[in-house]
Amino acid sequence: MPLAAPGPGPATGPLARVAVVSEPVAGATSEESGERRVKRALEGTVALVTGASSGIGAATAATLAAHGAAVALAARRRDRLAELAAGITGQGGTALVLECDVTDQEQAAAAVDRTATELGRLDTLVNNAGLMLLGPAAGAPLAEWQQMVELNVLGLLYCAHAALPHLLRAAADGPRQVADMVNISSVAGRFARNGNGVYALTKFGMGAFSESLRQELAGQYVRVSLVEPGATATELASHNRPEILDSIRNQFGQTMAAADIADAIGYIVTRPRHVAVNEMLIRPTEQQR
Ligand SMILES: NC(=O)c1ccc[n+]([C@@H]2O[C@H](COP(=O)([O-])OP(=O)(O)OC[C@H]3O[C@@H](n4cnc5c(N)ncnc54)[C@H](OP(=O)(O)O)[C@@H]3O)[C@@H](O)[C@H]2O)c1
């Protein structure tokens, strides 16, 4: 089952992946303090990561910062974002804390606008914020279904809509002449299972939107990528009702670290301009379904 183990310890907290080594851009150097140094792949670019206060989002923000991007960190828990931002700036990076609820269209648009205004541009959007509430459909609290649709579908759409003009501009006149939207789906976006129907619905929908948008924007060099993780140790499952948690706990097998998914996202957005990684399905080696 593509389920995450609940409740990470500090090892998967926001600071867990700040120390990432970036691949240099081949042959690119710049002068700084009279010394030649290798330019990192995302230097001069700006990335916005939603759901950056924990798990995959926090690890991704740290990875993109290590590749040289200035990063805007969006989520509701300001303290967690501030801790991550301090880790990034402590290593010489640039980070902007954006406390926001992306299910609120105005807050989502404001997060995108503040990124472009305060960091100067927007080259990369990682639509990562998500919620997975499992269990039988019969008798399920409707509020759980509404929460998943509001965050996994509408939250993504609000951010994507606000970001598109900036991404198109970045691809047209930015330093890399290419921009990226990376949407974090799930194995559940490929395979629906008994008990994950609404979560799978939102992730299948994300796949459809991403593929349509990819075709629309391909000629304008805005790459749209879909990442489909399997079981990854984050806080994701911990939001389920206790009785659901009890019933799914023994399904957890091997898990990946959030950093494993962040590495994949870092790979996707550092490809040369003529290479687009459209889709990436990543499971722990032992995960069968
Ligand atoms: N972990 C897995 O096994 C797994 C597998 C497949 C796919 N995924 C996908 O990976 C993505 C990240 O999940 P994760 O595993 O890293 O889980 P996580 O640790 O629970 O992270 C979810 C993030 O979303 C943010 N978020 C929740 N509601 C929000 C809202 N209304 N507005 C803004 N941000 C909000 C949370 O921050 P705040 O609470 O501070 O707002 C948190 O930073 C999700 O889309 C999930 O579906 C995860």
Give the separation between CA 180 and CA 24, rounded to whole angstroms: 19
pLDDT in tens, 25-53: 444 444 445 556 678 999 999 999 999 99
Q: CA 266, CA 71: separation in Å to the nearest integer?
A: 13
Q: Please report the atom of ligand 1 found closest to the CA of residue 4.
A: 3
Digit-by-digit pLDDT tens for the chain (289 residues) are 333 333 333 233 334 333 333 444 444 444 445 556 678 999 999 999 999 999 999 999 999 999 999 999 999 999 999 999 999 999 999 999 999 999 999 999 999 999 999 999 999 999 999 999 999 999 999 999 999 999 999 999 999 999 999 999 999 998 899 999 999 999 999 999 999 999 999 999 999 999 999 999 999 999 999 999 999 999 999 999 999 999 887 777 999 999 999 999 999 999 999 999 999 999 999 999 9
Rounded distance from Cα 152 to ligand 1 centre (Å): 9
pLDDT at 27: 40
What's the burial of 285, exposed, middle or buried (CB within 10 Å: 0-12/13-18/19+)?
A: exposed
The CB of 256 under 6 Å from ligand 1? The reply is: no
Give the closest residue (by CA) to ligand 1 atom 30. 101
For ligand 1, the distance from its centroid to the CA atom of residue 266, given in whole angstroms, is 18
**pTM for this model (two decimals):** 0.92
* Per-residue model confidence as pLDDT tens digits over 171-213: 999 889 999 999 999 999 999 999 999 999 999 999 999 999 9
Which of 133, 143, 153, 102 has its CA nearest to residue 238? 133
Q: pLDDT value at position 35?
A: 55
Instruction: Select from 209, 239, 241 the least CA-distant residue to 225.
Output: 209
Say what the pLDDT of residue 34 is: 53
Which CA distances in Å does 103 have to 8, 47, 93, 109, 150? 25, 20, 28, 10, 6
Mutate to test the pocket of ligand 1, among 98, 101, 234, 283 (most ligand atoms within 8 A of CB): 234
Instruction: Report the DSSP beta bridge partners of residue 97.
Output: 73
